[in-house]
Structure 1
Amino acid sequence: MTAQTLPTAVGAPGAEDITSEHDVLAIGCGPFNLGLAALASTVDGLDLVVLEEQPELTWHRGMMFGDASMQVNFLADLVTLVAPQHPLSFLSYLHDMDRLYTFTVRENFFPSRREYEDYLRWAAAKLPSVRFSHRVEAVHWDKTTERFTVEAVRGDGARLRMRAGNLVLGIGTAPFVPEALAGLPQDKLLHTSEYLYRQSDVAAAQKVTVVGSGQSGAEVAVDLLSRNLEGGPAVSWLTRTTSFAPLDYTKMNLELTTPAYMQYFHSLPQAVRDRLIKEQWQFYKGISTDTLEEIHELLYRRQLEHGLAEAELRFGITVENAAVDESGRTVLTCRHRDTDQLFEHTTDLVVAATGYRNRPPRFLDPVENLLHRDPQGRPVVRADHSIELADGVSGRVFVANAEIHTHGVSAPNLDIGAIRNATILNAITGRDVYRLPKRSAFTAFEAPRQAS
């Protein structure tokens, strides 16, 4: 379908209202919807547009340490796992940048985060369907035309009405700060997502406490311990987990991140899914073994120095409350989970390594009554990643990285992005425009069939 653009009425001074028709409107431009645009770009007759509020693509810059590398290999790019010949693959990017040969000699299949972001920006620049500085304000369902209307504001002030039968929500997640820490003043608290933007606050503190673990918390701990070795502030690292546990990325355990397991997981009752997600926490709360080894090396090197500020690591700790005392220092009320003992922990600055949560998009408020939700308020998501909608709604709303509860812990993983996007495009077009893997795991997940 060819997009149609029709100027209508005059809105703000110097800006006009514009109405256009499309097949698919994708909201948000992170790696997942960017990958959707990349795969859609080679599907004949499909008109897809991606709308992004920000003026440019950035990716985790608050944690872009100079030596930070990806935790998935380069094949988990925007397209390769379903379309290895695609012109927007990571290898095509390397070739275009004249780095393919040196990347080969490097013999490291894990790009740096900086290089991965540069790849994303390279791909976005080649996709005219990706439109930055487009803020979505509201989504409506028109039962007469059987299409969604997306109201958006462009960077120049023009108001847009864009219609499509299919929406894909890829707005990402938002930094999460638990209630126990949320009441701290801004100058006493930062989230890992803004760590590199708050370096002056880190340098000014006499003691910095990281609350929470996972890869982000561990990378902050590496930075703080390195500073500590050079005479920097005291460091504390507190986490609720039962240990500073590694990411379990052993090959057979990675079978649980495959499309085959995702399909099996979706077939299970919701109570079973919720139990499994809790049991599989090392997929998303663990720490890479390289980072753990780096932390141990820094702690070992501290033994050879004298006069350094304190460095303290404790697991099995729950922070229950946080306040600022009369001297201006932060006091955390903590509970030792093994013994149930309460104690106070005093610090100057808290770094919340407490992860991310799905952000509820306000622009969906006008169609909220059309979305089916489970008893916990989560969208009911079909196997093809579309939300179950009210009877009579022929349009479809797909989600990216908002379906852990229905598709499992691999939903946020970059290596599932191309598979999910191919699934969505196949569903929208009604044909197999991309071949999905028929066997992606050696493990059999279902119960064996019994002979009758």
Structure 2
Amino acid sequence: MTDQPHTDDIIGIGFGPANLSLAIALTDALRGAAVRPSLRFLERQESFGWHRAMMLPGADMQISFVKDLVSLRDPTSPFSFINYLHGKGRLNAFLNLKTFNPSRVEYNDYLAWAAEHFSDVATYGETVEAVRPETRDGRLAAFVLTGRDAAGRPRLRRCRHLVLAAGGDPAIPEPFARLAGDRRLMHASWYLPGIAAALGAPRLDGPQPRILVVGAGQSAVEIAVDAGARYPRALVDLAIRGPALKPADDSPFVNEIFDPEAVDRVHDAPEPVRAELIAAHRATNYAVVDADLIQSFYATLYEQEVSGQTRYRLRRSTRVVAIEPAGSGLRAELRDDVAGTQEHQTYDAVICATGYHRAAVPAMLEPLRPFMAADTVDRRYRLHLEPAEPRVSLHLQGVSEPSHGLTETLLSILPVRAGEIAGTILDAERAARAAIRPAAAP
């Protein structure tokens, strides 16, 4: 480990859609500039990939392609989804689909295409473990990042502006968390490789594997349907706490909560009103399913009634109150809260489609705690630090839903948010460089 780490002006931790959009915004803002701050983005994955484990056949995006990495900020940008289609020679064919929602596989390919343009400033396979303060005269002067490179060697980096967009941590609630490390239990974020590790290759003979999916949102139903299709002999249970699967509300007036202007409305509202606004719109994003998928899944359950052959079961008002290893499977105790009954069932694979946890201040930033004036970011996603030099800034992406609204963890306004963060950082850089510029000769 070097004692004098290389210094970049701007470092982004994580190189998913949020920081990829920031890379584009910074590049656009610096085009033609005489002085260009140095950039570096660090990504723990070995190569670019967005939700690889959920690239399910037939799964579409839940947002319009117009809400890509750039168009809401600059519809003329060469990084638009439309230009991606043009470059791939698929623009006319995509138009013939008559849809605003590309497949998840195609959207991932679009993101990877955009990321390729920044291969010179993106470092893959590098994990940041902690961010520590560097002080000068008692003031925060820089950030020192400690971590490991792709070969596992210790790595030090240093920067003045830091943007953290590392994504959420899989939320695995009790009692499932006690089985962490058991290959038969997985989170939705690890579904495709996880189900293969738990069940192996699909077979048309032999025992019927039992699969339990826990969750009531889009991912849960997609996984339940995919698991049954992927393993044609599988028996699939979908356990939900509520009495029914609920459709996502994507009506026009409600959908305005995902407009860039909604961030101001939410952020500027008094705190109790802000919480009410977010709660009133939860049916747009949490524990809800696209109406067409609900219709299709209901039809599948009805066809089972007609044929008398049951492979899928919707376990309504059901909680898993205990789960433990039992031979080659996992023995779950399921409670039906309406009927007041409990039963035991052994499963060969259990998938928790239970969302993500996002701390207001990610754990890697704890060494900076003495300089944090608050746990929440300002309107431009900047975490206030003091005492700190003017040229130092810390921005967080994806953790500020309570203050900025439902768009914070989604793709809806990525380019607008990226533009705001880029502008804040570059304004600070320009001001700092102007302050140290020698006075002009008389």
TM range (shorter): 0.7 to 0.9
* 2:217 counterpart letter in structure 1: G
Secondary structure of the residue aligned to 1:252 is: helix
Q: Distance in 2 between matches of 1:89 and 1:24?
A: 24
Secondary structure of the residue aligned to 1:23 is: strand
1:64 and 2:42 correspond = no
Is the contact made by 1:381 and 1:388 (CA closer than 8 Å) also made in structure 2?
yes
Is the contact made by 1:37 and 1:130 (CA closer than 8 Å) also made in structure 2?
no
* 2:164 counterpart letter in structure 1: L
* TM-fit CA distance, 1:83: 1.2
Q: Distance in 2 between matches of 1:415 and 1:23?
A: 28
1:268 and 2:265 correspond = no
Is the contact made by 2:43 and 2:125 (CA closer than 8 Å) also made in structure 1?
yes
Query: Taking structure 1 as reference, are residues 242 and 24 closer, same or farther at Cα in structure 2, changes over 3 Å only?
Result: farther
* TM-fit CA distance, 1:234: 2.2
Aligned equivalent of 1:305 = 307
Is the contact made by 2:246 and 2:289 (CA closer than 8 Å) also made in structure 1?
yes
Aligned equivalent of 2:346 = 347
For 1:133, which of 125, 129, 138 is the aligned residue? 125
After superposing the two structures, state which structure 1 stretch, 360-369 or 259-268, moved more. 360-369
Aligned equivalent of 1:41 = 27
1:192 and 2:179 correspond = no
Aligned equivalent of 1:376 = none
Aligned equivalent of 1:255 = 256
Q: Distance in 2 between matches of 1:302 and 1:26?
A: 50
- What pairs with 1:100-119 in structure 2 (closer than 5 Å)? 100-119=91-110
Q: What are the superposed Cα offsets for residues 288-309 of structure 1, whole Å, 9 maximum, x if unpaired?
A: 1121122122223223434x34
Q: Distance in 1 between matches of 2:384 and 2:373?
A: 5
- What pairs with 1:89-108 in structure 2 (closer than 5 Å)? 89-108=80-99
Aligned equivalent of 2:212 = 209
Secondary structure of the residue aligned to 1:179 is: coil
Secondary structure of the residue aligned to 1:165 is: strand
Task: Mark the runs of 5 or more structure 2 residues left unpaired by the alignment.
Answer: 31-35, 431-442
Q: Distance in 2 between matches of 1:199 and 1:321?
A: 24
* TM-fit CA distance, 1:227: 6.1
For 1:413, which of 410, 413, 423 is the aligned residue? 410
Q: What are the superposed Cα offsets for residues 42-92 of structure 1, whole Å, 9 maximum, x if unpaired?
A: 222343221112220111121111211111111111111101111221122
* TM-fit CA distance, 1:146: 2.0
Secondary structure of the residue aligned to 2:335 is: strand
* TM-fit CA distance, 1:223: 2.0
1:75 and 2:78 correspond = no
For 2:144, which of 149, 152, 156 is the aligned residue? 149
* TM-fit CA distance, 1:248: 0.8
- What pairs with 1:330-345 in structure 2 (closer than 5 Å)? 330-336=331-337, 341-345=340-344
Is the contact made by 2:304 and 2:310 (CA closer than 8 Å) also made in structure 1?
no
For 2:11, which of 25, 31, 47 is the aligned residue? 25
Aligned equivalent of 1:447 = none
Task: Mark the runs of 5 or more structure 1 residues left unpaired by the alignment.
Answer: 1-10, 374-378, 434-452
* 1:136 counterpart letter in structure 2: V
1:388 and 2:384 correspond = yes
Is the contact made by 1:168 and 1:398 (CA closer than 8 Å) also made in structure 2?
yes
After superposing the two structures, state which structure 1 stretch, 342-351 or 150-159, moved more. 150-159
Query: Taking structure 1 as reference, are residues 180 and 156 closer, same or farther at Cα in structure 2, changes over 3 Å only?
Result: closer
Secondary structure of the residue aligned to 2:376 is: coil
Secondary structure of the residue aligned to 2:92 is: helix
Q: What are the superposed Cα offsets for residues 221-241 of structure 1, whole Å, 9 maximum, x if unpaired?
A: 22245468x5x2222211123
After superposing the two structures, state which structure 1 stretch, 253-262 or 44-53, moved more. 44-53
* TM-fit CA distance, 1:160: 5.0
Query: Taking structure 1 as reference, are residues 221 and 156 closer, same or farther at Cα in structure 2, changes over 3 Å only?
Result: closer
Q: Distance in 2 between matches of 1:150 and 1:357?
A: 23
Per the normalisation by structure 1, the TM-score is 0.82
- What pairs with 1:223-234 in structure 2 (closer than 5 Å)? 223-226=226-229, 230=232, 232-234=233-235
Secondary structure of the residue aligned to 1:354 is: coil
1:316 and 2:311 correspond = no
1:164 and 2:159 correspond = yes
Is the contact made by 2:301 and 2:313 (CA closer than 8 Å) also made in structure 1?
no
Aligned equivalent of 1:292 = 294
Q: Distance in 1 between matches of 2:197 and 2:303?
A: 26
* 2:346 counterpart letter in structure 1: T
Secondary structure of the residue aligned to 1:410 is: helix
User: Identity rate of aligned residues, in percent?
Assistant: 30
Aligned equivalent of 1:8 = none
Is the contact made by 2:329 and 2:346 (CA closer than 8 Å) also made in structure 1?
no
* 1:295 counterpart letter in structure 2: F
Q: Distance in 2 between matches of 1:199 and 1:158?
A: 31
Aligned equivalent of 2:225 = 222
After superposing the two structures, state which structure 1 stretch, 188-197 or 154-163, moved more. 154-163
Secondary structure of the residue aligned to 2:41 is: strand
After superposing the two structures, state which structure 1 stretch, 387-396 or 191-200, moved more. 387-396
* 1:252 counterpart letter in structure 2: F
Q: Distance in 2 between matches of 1:267 and 1:259?
A: 13
* TM-fit CA distance, 1:157: 6.7
Q: What are the superposed Cα offsets for residues 258-306 of structure 1, whole Å, 9 maximum, x if unpaired?
A: 2222111112344443444344322222111121122122223223434
Q: What are the superposed Cα offsets for residues 346-371 of structure 1, whole Å, 9 maximum, x if unpaired?
A: 13132211111126744323213323
Q: What are the superposed Cα offsets for residues 390-434 of structure 1, whole Å, 9 maximum, x if unpaired?
A: 344642211111111111122111121111111111211239x9x
Query: Taking structure 1 as reference, are residues 157 and 237 closer, same or farther at Cα in structure 2, changes over 3 Å only?
Result: closer
Per the normalisation by structure 2, the TM-score is 0.84
Aligned equivalent of 2:282 = 281
Secondary structure of the residue aligned to 1:76 is: coil
Q: Distance in 2 between matches of 1:264 and 1:417?
A: 17
1:182 and 2:177 correspond = yes
Query: Taking structure 1 as reference, are residues 95 and 222 closer, same or farther at Cα in structure 2, changes over 3 Å only?
Result: same
Tell me how large the CA RMSD over aligned residues is: 2.7
* TM-fit CA distance, 1:249: 1.0
